[in-house]
Amino acid sequence: MTESCVAEPTNSVIEESPTESIPATEEAACTHLEDFLRMDRIPHIWCPGCGIGTSVNSFLRAVIDSKIPQNKLCIVSGIGCTGRVAGYINVDSFHTTHGRAIPFATGLKLANPELMVVVYSGDGDLTAIGGNHLVHAARRNIDIKVICVNNFIYSMTGGQAAPTTPAGTIASTTPYGYFENQLNLPQFLEACGAVYIARWTTFHVRQIQKAVCECFKKKGFTFIEVIAPCPTLYGRRNEYRTGLDEMKMFKEKSKIKNNIDTREATLIPGQEIVVGKFVDRERPNFLDSMDEHYGRVLGDAYKPYTGAIA
Amino acid sequence: MVEVSRKPKGFVTINQERCKGCGFCVEFCPTNVLQLSQEYNSHGYHYPIAQAPEKCSGCDQCGAYCPDFAVLGSRNNNKK
Ligand code: SF4
Ligand code: SF4
């Protein structure tokens, strides 16, 4: 925080300058976030007005709130703008190949079940390139926490239309508008078997923070979809000139509807964005069901699994 | 005569060099404390300044929205 400066009061009525009461740096929340960031890599590459940084901000606040030890948390990302998250968070983090964040995270979790494994990646990486992995990790209920930043297009590769692109969107590959059916992620993940599903936009910073805390407490496959602005490749082509314009749209058009049927979780930018916590249920996770099954079939010959490393 | 003033409940710390001028903090501050400066930082962005610091409640809404970890709202310890 060496370069930081405290905004000087411009109003002379104030007798006591706010600068007098700056708490010791270790008390300031900003410095707490900085402990979890690789400060040598900040500023990050994300464009001005990009929502990924805001989602990371909320995520780190949740990590601090949940008091997860830094050496027990792992972040796994795939490829894409959101795929860069792994590189900025100061915990053991892995930047994997395109679409393969979930299989990597599955291996990590099964080898060392003590770890809190978070998959932090984008919509293209998780639901298109790696869509099959998403299906089966949710089906098996592997205990990993997935955060999917959805900005409606493939951003790093140049703004092409993706499975999550809403109808009518102008993308670099659809100059006359997109006409295909859009994948409704909460509905899809509910069918696959995820135990916790929520959708928030980057306007809902405190809700994201709370949702991440809830996921850390929950055992099993959890999924948070974070709708984020991408002014550079989505917004500019679709009436939101800046990230702020898109954030204002999120504020105006979001409707919080907790626990609704995920089929009704519509996502039409500019018209209606249904957000909230949609699913929170219990199902035995992969390792528990494995222990239960083999314990029953093999009896005393089976020792409950405690990980591949001693 | 001495003008009596209340010490603000909070204050905001801004790291000007880290800012990319997205304006999220300015827009979402509940009491409109911030505005973007006319000045540029060394990367060419307009960073926020506290134009009404006396209105700051220290809620840290600005800090929660900042994608670049450049803003932080803190509460004053108004003990006296
Ligand atoms: S291209 Fe889009 S998603 Fe990627 S950093 Fe820029 S604004 Fe963010
Ligand atoms: S701490 Fe709250 S009141 Fe103060 S500038 Fe930030 S958002 Fe505004």
Residue A160's CATH number: 3.40.50.970
- pLDDT-derived band at A220, boundaries 50, 70, 90: very high
Domain assignment present for residue A3? The answer is no
C-alpha dihedral sign at A193, A199, A205, A210: negative
pLDDT digits (tens, 9 = 90+) for B12-59: 999 999 999 999 999 999 999 999 999 999 999 999 999 999 999 999
Least confident of A80-84, A146-150, B3-7, B26-30: B3-7
Domain membership of residue A1 (yes or no) is: no
State the Cα–Cα distance between residues A18 and B59, nearest whole angstrom.
Answer: 15
pTM for the full predicted model: 0.90
Domain of A191, in residue numbers = 25-284
- Checking if the pLDDT of B79 tops 70, the result is no
State residue A13's pLDDT score: 39
pLDDT of residue A310: 59
Substitution site in B12, B25, B34, B66 for ligand 2 pocket (most atoms within 8 Å of beta carbon): B12
More confident residue, A255 or A17: A255
Residue A44 falls within a domain, yes or no?
A: yes
> Rounded mean pLDDT of A240-244?
97
How many other C-beta atoms can be found within 10 angstroms of the C-beta atom of residue A71? 9
Give the pLDDT band of residue B80 (cuts 50, 70, 90).
very low
Q: Comparing A32-41, A58-67, A153-162, A294-303, which segment has the lowest mean pLDDT?
A: A32-41
Residue B35 near residue B48, CB atoms below 8 Å: yes
**A31 has a pLDDT exceeding 80:** no
Does residue B78 surpass a pLDDT of 90? no
Mean pLDDT of chain A: 90
- Whether residue A38 lies within 8 A of chain B, CB to CB, comes out as no
Is the residue at A104 inside a domain? yes
Domains annotated on chain B, with CATH: 20-75 (3.30.70.20)
Q: How far is CA A174 from CA A128, A151, A238, in A?
A: 17, 16, 12
DSSP category for residue A47: P
CB contact set of A124 (below 8 Å; sequence gap of 6+): A80, A153, A154, A155, A157, A162, A164
Residue nearest to atom 6 of ligand 2 (CA): B62
CB nearest B13 (choices: A6, A51, A203): A6
pLDDT in tens, A154-199: 999 999 999 999 999 999 999 999 999 999 999 999 999 999 999 9
| Structural domain contains residue A270 | yes
Domain count within chain A: 1
Residue A88 lies in a domain: yes
